[in-house]
A and B are shown apart, each in its own frame.
Chain A
Amino acid sequence: MDRLLFGDNQFFGVNHMSEEKARAQAMRFQDIGSVINVLDMAYDDGIRTFMCTTHERIALVCDHVRASPDRYTGFTFFPGMPYAHKYANAITEDGMLGAVRRFLPNEGLLDAAVRGTASVAKKDIEGLVTLLIDAEMKMFEGLSTPVIFLQNVVVDLLLGLGFKDAFAIFANHVEKRYGAEPGFMTMNLPALLPVLEAVGIDNPIVCCNINKIGFRMSGGFEAYQECLSERRFRAIAMSVLASGAIPAAEAIEWVCSQPNIEAIVFGASSRANIRNTRDLVARHWDLSRRA
């Protein structure tokens, strides 16, 4: 995998620091053309992996990339599913089962009916989970998705509930159906790693907050450092700048000096910030070599 990955929070009004900034970003990126414009800047500066949610507007980015394969040679998606707010709002409106029904795919109805009904009857979640994964993956058809992530809200909910089998179901389906590696996002790295190991997911790709001030590193800063130096997993650091609380140069110097981090995911909205981040990372890591 590439060592520097481009994230998508900035495109969807997600800002962990300020609601005002989030709204300004939502306005700026209302037009998908503005999103694509920034992705083009990143691509032209050598950042070719786009780590994105399965927000419905990403489908437009997918269409665009699919339509110009020559422009986007080597462009890679790392989808992270699901875009949780659509489910959370649906649960509030329709209840738990109503929400699941709402997101089941319309197409392949027979297959969906067989997998869905059988699994509802047997209280077997495998059919339902794989259906939901397929529904989320539909927009990426024909595109390169070598790693597929489960978003932290879901990972951490399952982790808290002790729903360990779900991780294995996700991993198996993603490998078999999409030939992809499973990835897991979490806010609770020290708690997650032993569970993934217990269900037989070896050397997993895990994306979590890793920053100098310990922001949203649940389980504690020391426990994270212990994981990085002692546990077998492939770390992707997110929230490296802690939403802007740490100056970029300082934040990146620190994260690049931590052991066993394979990649950094970052978000930016301007060419200057994309270049600045890339150049800061390049001071410490050789970006031409893949992890």
Chain B
Amino acid sequence: MIKVAVVGLGKMGMSHLAMLNAHPQVELAAVCDASGYVLGVLEKYTGVKTFTDYDTMLRDQPLDAVVIATPSRSHAPMVEAALDRGLHVFCEKPFTLNPADSQRLAELARERGLVTQVGYHNRFVGAFREVKRLLDAGAIGTVTHALGEAYGPVVLKPRGGTWRSRRSEGGGCLHDYAAHPIDLLAWYMGEPTGVGGTALNSIFSREIDDEVFSTLYFDGGKTAQISANWSDESQRKMTTRITLWGTTGRIYVDRQECQVYLRDTAVVPDRYDHGWNVRYTTDLTEPVWFYLRGEEYSAQLASFVERAGSGTTEGLNDFASATATDAVINLLITDAAKGASTSRTTPPTSPTSPAAISGAARRSGVVRAQQWRKLATRLAGRARVRGTRAIKTMRQRSS
């Protein structure tokens, strides 16, 4: 039995709480949240011991481990306080907002021999694990390029009053959504050596990014692209998918299925054939002790509980691996601030190519030269404003 406290009762914290409470090896010792109301309801109906102050809980409550599911900005100080008290720590993703903090905390945990884990649950999804196994077996040869995508319906209009809409709290599509494919690609392809062409665009949010695009560069000339958008209403719920192209095959994977094409030149793993192979979640998923919202959520906690119980510091998604992912996230932020890496030397003369205009004009029959001139003037005006802004930013930076 290990004594665990859950900190932060948002969507993730609440579901961690339910799964841990049902785990046969866990004694749920306490919960901690800033909202007295949610705590009060929980205490009244479930009898769990509650705290509104984290430090008081750490001081007064005997614990073996904490599960931290608070807004991202608070991760670093909370993790540090727990490690200082010799507790094993499971922390929600992203690990911290500052790679230097991540590095320091990973080092601290290592020195103290404590068990750590970060909630990149996709590494516990059967289909994503299968891909790791296939890549390690060299099934598609040398991977040359990959595409990591994450789409879902989170911010669909200009509003939202939670911490997720605030830059300072670690909100945004980059930390919330893009972090998942970035983490999977780091697992599959190793740590990128650099990034380029990053765009962090707002669609509806005032402060933060709603879509993320970037190119990751790896050793040996390999590349990957990230495409994430949390303002995509066409998705019923979040979807994370990876496509990998290798010298002897191609893999497409999401949490439900794994589609693998193996060329004649491929070394074919057991239960696979040349040509197309499809493996479904029904085939790839191990049963769990308690199911709430996907086996992977239960499986990642089971792994943490097992490791904390036995003091096994080695394991999937430890602080060191999440630190690598945090570092990539930070590279994307730095890169996005630079804007285009290669700019044209002359200003655009028209909003779109003459061929496209005449094509469009022919098709629609309503586009008149006058309208295009107006549009061109407007766009050129916008470009001038942007250009002036960019020069100003560059000057500020160089000073």
- Would you call B160 and A93 a contact (CB within 8 A)? yes
Residues of A within 8 A of B48 (CB): 162
Return the chain A residue nearest B160 by Cβ. A93
- Would you call B288 and A218 a contact (CB within 8 A)? yes
Given A17-B282, A26-B236, check contact A91 B41 (CB 8 Å).
no
The 8 A CB mask of B262-298 against A (1 = contact, 0 = none) is 0000000000000000001111010111111101000
- Would you call A162 and B153 a contact (CB within 8 A)? no
The 8 A CB mask of B15-45 against A (1 = contact, 0 = none) is 1011101100000000000010110111011
The answer, yes or no, to whether A252 is at the interface (CB within 8 Å) is no
B residues lining the A interface (CB < 8 Å): 9-11, 14-15, 17-19, 21-22, 35, 37-38, 40-42, 44-48, 153-155, 159-162, 164, 236-237, 239, 241, 254, 256-257, 280-283, 285, 287-293, 295
Q: Give residues 52-77 of A contacting B (CB, 8 Å).
A: none
Identify which of A22, A161, A215, A220 contacts B282 (C-beta below 8 A).
Answer: A215
- Give the interface residue-count category, chain A: 35 or more
- Would you call B291 and A188 a contact (CB within 8 A)? yes
CA distance A284 to B245 in the complex (A): 48
Identify which of B21, B154, B295 contacts A89 (C-beta below 8 A).
Answer: B154
What is the distance, in angstroms, from B300's C-beta to the closest C-beta of chain A?
15
Residues of B within 8 A of A217 (CB): 287
CA distance A209 to B281 in the complex (A): 15
- Would you call A245 and B280 a contact (CB within 8 A)? yes
- Would you call A162 and B21 a contact (CB within 8 A)? yes
What is the distance, in angstroms, from A57's C-beta to the closest C-beta of chain B?
12
- Would you call A18 and B280 a contact (CB within 8 A)? yes
- Would you call B164 and A160 a contact (CB within 8 A)? no
Residues of A within 8 A of B254 (CB): 19
The answer, yes or no, to whether A249 is at the interface (CB within 8 Å) is no
Report the stretch among A137-145, A151-159, A230-238, A255-263 that lies at the interface. A151-159
Given A97-B37, A160-B21, A243-B282, check contact A85 B237 (CB 8 Å).
yes
- Would you call A123 and B35 a contact (CB within 8 A)? no
The 8 A CB mask of A1-45 against B (1 = contact, 0 = none) is 000000000001111111100100010000000000000000000
Residues of A within 8 A of B21 (CB): 160-162
Identify which of B44, B160, B291 contacts A123 (C-beta below 8 A).
Answer: B44
CA distance A134 to B156 in the complex (A): 27
